[in-house]
Structure 1
Amino acid sequence: MAKVIQIRDVPDDVHEALAKAAEAERLSLNRYVLRELEHLARRAEVVELNARVITETRARVRRKVARENILAALQEGREE
Structure 2
Amino acid sequence: MTVLTIRDVPDEEVQTLKVRAAQAGQSLQAYVRDLLARETAKPTLAEMMERLDREANADVSAGDVLGVIDEMRAGR
- Aligned residues: percent identity? 25
* Structure with more relative contact order (C-alpha pairs < 8 Å, separation 6 or more): 1
Measured after TM superposition, the shift of residue 55 of structure 1 is 1.1
- Give the root-mean-square deviation of aligned CA atoms: 2.4
Structure 1: gaps of 5 or more residues: 62-80
Runs of 4+ in structure 1 displaced over 4 angstroms? Answer: none
1:18 aligns with 2:17: yes
TM-score (norm 1): 0.62
CA gap 1:26/1:8 in 2 versus in 1, 3 angstroms: same
Structure 2: gaps of 5 or more residues: 60-76
Q: How many corresponding residue pairs? A: 59
Measured after TM superposition, the shift of residue 56 of structure 1 is 1.7
TM-score (norm 2): 0.64
Greater fraction helix: 1
